[in-house]
Structure 1
């Protein structure tokens, strides 16, 4: 039986910002008319796709709601390496020598790249599945450095249970994931464990870039496919959809945007809401909070999204009991 999954917000982040010449967020420009000082933020994502775009949109909206508005007292520069690691490293190095007050990293690779070159000014991440495994924080409760943010960590057992609710006789599930993203590797390991408990064999295939996704999916002989929170694979979701339809296999994902694009279902995060939540952390730090003791937060709720017509193209009928529980139907 599907159920809404709710977690509490977790954690804290601490940051010591003013050492070795780095400018403290509390020591920059004079306040604007609304009482908020002028702020410069350097932001970087990993690749373009709807979920990450919504995170950024939510961050900008949340900052505006808190009195930090682009073109007024906020300058925010968003860079996108489109998945290229060398370009990402160059962006991080450029930011490290900039005069930005704070940095925003959307997804795990940008957060890691920034953390390697900037240890003084605050770095706030979003959509990092496992910040501890990624080496970004000491613990979810006490980050212990200049890095904190929000995690899109999802309950893999409940996601696989969605597949079983749609296909009760499912025996094998295939996962294509990026070997270059530590968050994807962690999720794949959890999926294998969760699948074992549900009587599902999880088979995996790895890729290094989005152009390999279709071939990797075709290599898996499975009853259904499951896409993790994996930026490389999500950016090529059309390839996964094509393989699923061609082989008559169910495709379930971890983001609602992919369901709108043609996947059958997802138990997913509201990414714009996560961006707004991330903006709250940014504001707290800009106004004196210490990242080393500021909580890393999990999103508080998940929603089920379904696309019955997409499922039909995969030769699958989503049961009415599942459709009834969906927050979004495409």
Structure 2
């Protein structure tokens, strides 16, 4: 090779990565957002968009978000996850355990950021919280002591309770993890749990009939794809049967449920945007620790408490993050 051709070849080799870098710099990143809910207005979507805005991203200008909605139908998630993976987005965002699990099955290369996952290690999403490994990280919504605290709070409101029903969907892995946490804590509080499975809206009425038959004193309703989507029906059934209920998400209390003690899902999904930003700036998801909840929020519906003839202890009202139907903060 003569000197001129050699120098030309070297120049090409040097220029190629620089050109690629320049092209990359001008490229608008694309994010995939896989959601079990419906395409209408929702706190989760608002939260993610707010998180992006806070970090300087504007949809349609310096970032593109591809949304896919399962509209409450879990069976649609795998198809939607595959569809998003084919688009080769820079990052996939997956609120909730079901969406996160199917996204992990759909791709082992595209970075995934989850939010609101009950137990990331137990669900098989990450190897450990400090160093997740692989292509996935995010925010987990449950800590080991949460089950006990939920039952303690319920017992404070219904002191004579000894039998507590647990309404859960066995097909929702996060619901199973919640049940295990409650079962571990119940004996210490002198409570007997009555697990009641629901796999679809058609089984709700039967579950509440069983509660009456078993003389249930109170209820814990697990939050998940099925139950959250049909929270209005569940809250109405609890009111009709006059069963005091602690719910797994604040949305149930906003719909008329008695109380909830949970991480704010809004904050979790907003926090997912922080991970997206780090990954877009070069961080590897497997090196980013999974964020655990720093605090849980207690939400109480005083209107529902009055309807049920319950007196909420002043100490509980003092610690509530939000009181619906009364003066509060």
Question: Equivalents in 2 of 1:112, 1:28: separation in Å?
Answer: 35
Q: TM-score, normalised by structure 2?
A: 0.85
Q: Which has the larger radius of gyration?
A: 2
Partner of 1:266, secondary structure, is strand
- 1:224 and 2:215 equivalent? no
Question: Equivalents in 2 of 1:138, 1:57: separation in Å?
Answer: 30
- Residues 111-150 of structure 1, C-alpha deviations (whole Å, 9 max, x = no match): 1111112000101111110111211111112211101111
Aligned to 1:179: 170
Question: Equivalents in 2 of 1:38, 1:191: separation in Å?
Answer: 45
Q: TM-score, normalised by structure 1?
A: 0.85
- Residues 61-97 of structure 1, C-alpha deviations (whole Å, 9 max, x = no match): 1112112210111111221112323321111111121
Question: Equivalents in 2 of 1:239, 1:55: separation in Å?
Answer: 21
Compare the two structures and name the one with the higher helix fraction: 2
Partner of 2:178, secondary structure, is helix
Aligned to 1:169: 160
Partner of 1:233, secondary structure, is helix
Question: Equivalents in 1 of 2:226, 2:22: separation in Å?
Answer: 37
Cα displacement (A) at 1:214: 3.3
Give ranges in structure 1 of 5+ residues lacking alignment.
Answer: 1-25
Aligned to 2:76: 87
Aligned to 2:16: none
Contact 2:47 2:269 in 1 (8 A): yes
Aligned to 1:188: 179
Aligned to 2:204: 213
Question: Equivalents in 2 of 1:28, 1:84: separation in Å?
Answer: 42
Question: Equivalents in 2 of 1:59, 1:81: separation in Å?
Answer: 17
Aligned to 2:119: 130
Aligned to 1:21: none
Residues 16-35 of structure 1 mapped to structure 2, 5 A cutoff:
30-31=24-25
Aligned to 1:320: 314
Partner of 1:189, secondary structure, is helix
Contact 1:248 1:316 in 2 (8 A): no
Question: Equivalents in 1 of 2:130, 2:223: separation in Å?
Answer: 22
Aligned residue pairs total 300
Aligned to 1:15: none
Give ranges in structure 2 of 5+ residues lacking alignment.
Answer: 1-19, 325-329
Residues 1-330 of structure 1 mapped to structure 2, 5 A cutoff:
30-31=24-25, 38-48=28-38, 53-154=42-143, 155-220=146-211, 221=214, 222-330=216-324
Cα displacement (A) at 1:198: 1.0
Cα displacement (A) at 1:257: 2.1
Question: Equivalents in 2 of 1:113, 1:239: separation in Å?
Answer: 28
Contact 2:115 2:268 in 1 (8 A): yes
Cα displacement (A) at 1:225: 0.9
CA shift in 2, pair 1:278/1:115, >3 Å:
same
Contact 2:39 2:69 in 1 (8 A): no
**For the aligned residues, what is the CA RMSD?**
2.2
CA shift in 2, pair 1:101/1:59, >3 Å:
same
Cα displacement (A) at 1:308: 1.2
- Residues 185-209 of structure 1, C-alpha deviations (whole Å, 9 max, x = no match): 0110111111111111111111222
Partner of 2:117, secondary structure, is coil
CA shift in 2, pair 1:108/1:62, >3 Å:
same
Between 1:165-174 and 1:318-327, the stretch displaced more is 318-327
